[in-house]
Structure 1
Amino acid sequence: MKRFERFQAIQQLDPIRDTCTICRQLAGYEFPWDITRALEVALFRTFCVPSIATLLDRTAEFHHRSQKRYDDTGLMVSLILQWGYDTPKGQAVIQRMNQIHGHFPISNYDFVYVLSTFIYEPVRWIERFGWRPLSESEKQALFHFWVNVGKQMEIQDIPNTYAELEQYNLEYEREHFQYSEANQRVGKSTLKLFLSWFPLPLRPLIQPFVYAIMDDRILQAFGFPSPQPWQRRLLEHMLRSRGNLLRYFPPRQTPNFYSDEPQRSYPQGYDLTDLGPPHMLPKLNQSKP
């Protein structure tokens, strides 16, 4: 298969009817690394909202079990992309998410915003750093995929079009992104988690580049310091260079989902019932995914 053959095949699919197939191709074959990084940025963005950060701060999940909380979120998102929202396995994951969220007083407005980040952060990341841009059909497929997931989560009043939900996303951030101590505590715990993946001597060198991937609104909402301009330029150059080089690599022949990778929190493997705060939730009769 040549580099653009899969892209050409995707363009023959319908973004509504074939949304699960398209999103599986994007997440598993075309942009697995980029979508994972984009969803990490999305995670940070949601913590810039005091109502969301206060809830997470109060549960202390990101303070005491940050790796598990990260892995659980990554696994559930990845499993839905891998299996689709319209299969028994995908629906079991959504059921598990609904169980977890049902324990917390989360507003519908916050739900809609968080859902929107799963669409627009990957789109924005790939537009900046991907080895090729997304087509309009692919963007629509991402929109319809996550809107359908949102409906199965019983999220109400989701805007009806890609443009309307994007506008909601932007307006929500303008209105709700603001500094709070809860934001900062959750942001610092998440930053500490990310840095823990690197050798200890390298962490002080890497930390400014984590700041560099954040825009000014994120930094202000966390009370984080601004990186040096050269650090942002260097990071963007490296990410764009990676995308440009990938154009010359052969296409991926086997899918690479986050859910297929070894998990730090589950070195012996996991059941779907392991995901989420274990002391809160009833067990499901679910085999390993």
Structure 2
Amino acid sequence: METIYICITLFIVVAILSVINYLKRVETHVQWRNKLAKLDVKNNGDNDEIIKHFVGYEYPFEMFLALNFCFYRTFCSPTIASVYRKTGTIYNTPDKRACDTDLLMHIWMDYGLDSTEGKASYEHLNKIHGLHSSKTRNVDFVFVLCCLVVDAIQFTNDYGWRRPEEKEKQAMWEFYRRVGQRMQLTNIPENLQKCYEFVESYTEDNRQARVTEDGQVLTEAITKLVCQWYYLLPAFVCRMAVKVVLYQMGATFQRKLGLSKPSIFESLLINTVLITRRSILCVIPPRSVPYKLSDVIMNTDYGCPVSKQTITKVGPLDMLAKIQ
């Protein structure tokens, strides 16, 4: 009987704390919505502020996943996959490649695109991309840019604790439009709707996107990396999750990676886990300080803080030797 009383008491305590935390989240979100209403997505400073909040407070894990799963989308492009395969960075050292990319791109979001750190990051990335500019078309870079927008919105919408506000979606597009300008891309879609249309058109066009050996090799390399990251889970569960998430990102592009359609059981299982996670997120306390993934990676992998000087250390050693 005593055990029953203890269990009931614990249940009541957890329920009360969950309600309190949920109400705190709602209150915090209302305050953010009021502030968001006063910000202009086309103003660079306001745009950076929206993205910092979006990534640092609301969706740090979802944005991490979105960026890394965006890799998969690019593998259905023969041009992009061929460049990736020839450089060998994704196939030979996928963990370093993923962490370096996460680091450089999260610096833009954590510090602001036009901050000293943000400027140093995209200028450094421009130099690295410049080594392969003759092998990659502008349209391929624009495809990658648009995929980053589409996946950021889809992952936060599908897996975050709440659905993004429309203004946050527009801010994400405006942010990456600015990134494209600073990376000297041309023919960038005019707005968010055209961004979606561009990704769909590119993916559906068999001349631009199709199954290739390079794409399949790279897909397997990143999938192994996901299994490595989540080593506490059985590998078959990780692979199942990857297959389901990729299919939900887009059936056509998933097929062009050479992957099979997930079964109803696989989709039901993985989505049940994701829905459960989403429910749990709603009843844990909201963040009081931003999570800066760029700081974590720089300190862990390079043993130093993010700065204009330390950013130049990021990347494959052979490529760094060519640009410095």
TM-score (norm 2): 0.82
Q: Which residue does 1:35 correspond to in 2?
A: 63
Q: Which residue does 1:16 correspond to in 2?
A: 42
Q: 2: distance between equivalents of 1:201 and 1:22?
A: 34
Q: 2: distance between equivalents of 1:59 and 1:254?
A: 38
Partner-residue secondary structure (3-state), 1:52? helix
Structure 2 residue corresponding to 1:208, chosen from 240, 249, 252:
240
Distance change >3 Å, CA 265–CA 50, structure 1 → 2: farther
1:111-169 CA-partner distances (Å, limit 9, x unpaired): 11101112111111222222211122111111111111110100011122121222112
Listed as ranges, the gaps of 5+ residues in structure 2 are: 1-23
Distance apart, 1:257 and its partner CA: 2.5
- Which stretch shifts more, 74-83 or 241-250? 241-250
Q: Which residue does 1:80 correspond to in 2?
A: 108
Listed as ranges, the gaps of 5+ residues in structure 1 are: none
Distance change >3 Å, CA 284–CA 272, structure 1 → 2: farther
Matched, 1:235 2:270: yes
Matched, 1:121 2:170: no
Q: Which residue does 2:228 correspond to in 1?
A: 196
Q: Which amino acid aligns with 1:108?
A: N
Q: Which residue does 2:320 correspond to in 1?
A: 281
Q: Which residue does 2:167 correspond to in 1?
A: 137
Q: Which amino acid aligns with 2:288?
A: Q
Q: Which amino acid aligns with 2:313?
A: D
Name the structure where helix makes up a greater proportion of residues. Answer: 2
Q: Which residue does 1:3 correspond to in 2?
A: 28
Structure 2 residue corresponding to 1:245, chosen from 250, 264, 280:
280
Contact 2:110–2:292 (Cα < 8 Å) also in 1: yes
Q: 1: distance between equivalents of 2:90 and 2:61?
A: 23
Distance apart, 1:200 and its partner CA: 7.5
Partner-residue secondary structure (3-state), 1:95? helix
Distance change >3 Å, CA 257–CA 58, structure 1 → 2: same
Matched, 1:58 2:95: no
Q: Which residue does 2:177 correspond to in 1?
A: 147
Distance change >3 Å, CA 201–CA 39, structure 1 → 2: closer
Q: Over aligned residues, Cα RMSD in angstroms?
A: 2.2
Contact 1:3–1:247 (Cα < 8 Å) also in 2: no
Q: 1: distance between equivalents of 2:114 and 2:233?
A: 46
Contact 1:129–1:239 (Cα < 8 Å) also in 2: yes
Partner-residue secondary structure (3-state), 2:320? coil
- Quick one: percent identity of the two aligned structures? 27
Q: 2: distance between equivalents of 1:50 and 1:200?
A: 34
Structure 1 residue corresponding to 2:99, chosen from 49, 56, 71:
71
Distance apart, 1:66 and its partner CA: 0.9
Q: Which residue does 1:184 correspond to in 2?
A: 216
Contact 1:3–1:249 (Cα < 8 Å) also in 2: no
Distance change >3 Å, CA 254–CA 222, structure 1 → 2: same
Distance change >3 Å, CA 148–CA 6, structure 1 → 2: same
Contact 1:83–1:90 (Cα < 8 Å) also in 2: yes
- Which stretch shifts more, 187-196 or 271-280? 271-280
Q: 1: distance between equivalents of 2:127 and 2:74?
A: 20
TM-score (norm 1): 0.91
Q: Which residue does 2:311 correspond to in 1?
A: 272
Distance change >3 Å, CA 75–CA 227, structure 1 → 2: same
Distance change >3 Å, CA 253–CA 94, structure 1 → 2: same
Distance change >3 Å, CA 186–CA 256, structure 1 → 2: same
